Amino acid sequence: MRILGVDPGSRATGYGMIETDGMRHRTILFGAVTTSARRPFHQRLLEIFEGLDTVLRRHPADVMAIEGVFHSVNVQAALKLGHARGVALVVAALRGLDVREYSPLEIKNAVVGFGRAEKIQVQTMVQLILGLPEIPSPDHAADALAVAICHAHRMKGEDVRR
């Protein structure tokens, strides 16, 4: 099964794709769609759409795992994050992907075993789990890979071979 993990953001939306048989995970690709704060917001959303759609056109996936909504004191930031999430969900729908959403707590628990883990702990575990020579960069890509790993761990017990 191929899982595309997405860490949505209006300035950088991370993506990371893994292939898993339920026990072993292999990295397919990772990166981030970055946008300029100087561009109009609707244009930035289009860039996120086009970037994620290009990834899925070149590397088809079976499911998209995405970080779910979290609470924020900054309403404007939360709204922009919601828009970026919406764009990712539209890409998934257009590509016919099943979507699974996970909270930051669930992701940290699945990857590190501790829901309040620090960012560097998550990144280090992503590197170890996937057998990568270094911590994935940029940070948003490492976070997206963590979302994909979370889904792979949640899928244990189900038949994930395709």
State the catalytic residues: 7, 67, 139
**Ramachandran angles phi, psi of 146, nearest 5°:** -65, -40
Query: Which residue bears the tokens 């990295």?
Result: 27
Partners of 3 in beta bridges: 18, 63
Helix (H/G/I), strand (E/B), else coil: 4: strand
CB-CB contact of 29 with 59 (8 Å): yes
Sign of CA dihedral 45, 69, 22, 157: negative
